[in-house]
Amino acid sequence: MADQPVFLRDDVVARFLSYDELIPRLEEVLGKFSRGNSSDVVQPVRSVIPIHSHSGFLGLMPAYIAHEDILCTKIVAFYRREENLHLPSTQATVLLFNPEYGNVTAVMDGLDITHKRTAAVSAISAKLLMAAQSDVLCILGCGHQAVSHYEIFTKLFSFKEVRVCSRRLETAERFAAGVQGPITVLSSAKEAVHGADVIITVTNSSKPVLFGEWVKPGAHIVAVGACRPDWRELDDVLMRDAVIYVDSREGAAVESGDIILSGAEVFAELGEVLNGTRPALRNKTTVFKSLGMGIQDAVAAKLVFDKWKRSQ
Ligand SMILES: NC(=O)C1=CN([C@@H]2O[C@H](COP(=O)(O)OP(=O)(O)OC[C@H]3O[C@@H](n4cnc5c(N)ncnc54)[C@H](O)[C@@H]3O)[C@@H](O)[C@H]2O)C=CC1
Ligand SMILES: O=C([O-])C1=[NH+]CCC1
C-alpha cells in the first residue's frame, strides 16, 4: 500500500513558496516547454467545462516534466462573481503524484501557488519586455491577482509611481489601504493608464477594459484575465498595434478571446525569448497574454513539497 497523501493547507503552502526560488524555476520550465520536446515536457491545453447555472468553469491542468520527474495536476474553478462574496472567485487544488506508480503524494491548496506563479510569470515578461526606463506601473483590477502582482512588481522593479483602478472605487481604495508603499487610486481607467510604462490587467471582465488609444507607445501590457475564448480585456486596436507574446501558443489559440477575436498574430512565446530563439522587442508596444499553464503549477508544487519534506 502506498503512503497516504499529505494535505498541505494554504498557510503551509504560502510559507514554503518564495518568489526568489520560484522565478528561476519558471524561467527554466518555460524555456523547456518552448523547445517543443514533448517527451520532456508534456502539457495539454487546459480542459475546461462550464458550470452554466453558476457562471463558473472547472479546469483541469495536468503536466509531466520528465527531466525532473514531476507529475502534477491542478484543478481550478473560476467564477465571474461580484467581488463582495466571501469566497475568492478562483479556487484551486494541486495534486502531486509519485510518477513511478501514479499514487498521489500531496494534495495542496492551490490558491497561493496560482497567485504567486501567475504574478512571477508576469514579472518575467516585464523583465524581458518592458522599456529600460519604466517609471509608472498601473494595475487595472484590484482583486487577488492584483495583490500578488503588486507584491512582486514592486519587489523586483523600481517604479516611481504605482497607480490602481478597479471597477468600483471602494475596491481600489481598500486595495491601496492594504498594501505597503505609496500608491495612487484613480476612478477612471483611461486616466490611470495615461503615460504608464507597464500596465497589468487583472480583471474578471469579459469586455475590454484597456483600449489601444489610451496606451503610451512602447508600453508593456501584461494581460492576465480574459481566459475564455469569448472574453476580452484588451480592444482590437491594442491587439493589432502591439507585438503579442504568450505563455503557450497552443493555449492562446484555444482560450484567449483577445487573440482569437481580434485575429492578432502571436509573435513569440515567453519561453522562446528566454531561449534566445525570438527577440524581446522592448522598444515596441508589447502585450504579454497570460493564460496560466500546468507546468507553472507543477514546478511551484514541487518546490513547496520538497521544502515541506525537508522541514519534517
Ligand atoms: N493568467 C493566469 O494564469 C490566471 C488568470 N486568472 C484570471 O485573472 C483574473 C483576476 O483574478 P483574481 O484577481 O483572482 O479575481 P478577483 O475576482 O479577485 O478580482 C477581479 C477584479 O477585477 C475587477 N474588475 C472587474 N471588471 C473590471 C473592469 N471592467 N475594470 C476594472 N476592474 C474590473 C473586480 O472589481 C475585481 O477587483 C480573472 O479573470 C482570473 O480568471 C486567474 C488565475 C491565473
Ligand atoms: O492558470 C490558472 O490557474 C487560471 N487561468 C485562468 C483561470 C485560472
pLDDT at 83: 55
pLDDT along the chain (312 residues), means of 10: 91 98 98 92 97 94 97 96 74 97 98 98 98 98 97 98 97 95 95 98 97 98 98 98 98 98 98 98 98 98 98 96
Please report which ligand is nearest the Cα atom of 80.
1
Measured in degrees and rounded to the nearest 5, phi and psi for residue 181 equal 105, 160
pLDDT at 39: 86
Residue nearest to atom 40 of ligand 1 (CA): 225
Residue nearest to atom 6 of ligand 2 (CA): 227
114 Cβ below 6 A of ligand 1: yes
- Report the distance separating Cα 187 and Cα 288, nearest Å: 25
Identity of the residue numbered 132:
A
Give 3-state DSSP helix, strand, coil % of the chain, rounded to 5: 40, 25, 35
Q: Residues lining ligand 2, CB < 6 A?
A: 76, 78, 90, 114, 227, 291-292
ipTM metric: 0.99
- Report the distance separating Cα 61 and Cα 71, nearest Å: 11
Model pTM greater than 0.90?
A: yes
pLDDT at 80: 83
- Rg of the chain (C-alpha set): 19
Residue nearest to atom 2 of ligand 2 (CA): 292
CA 252 / ligand 2 centre spacing (Å): 12
Closest to 63 measured CA to CA, from 246, 298, 292, 271? 298
Please report which ligand is nearest the Cα atom of 169.
1
Reading the block at residue 287, the C-alpha cell is 502585450
Helix, strand counts (H, E) of the chain: 11, 15
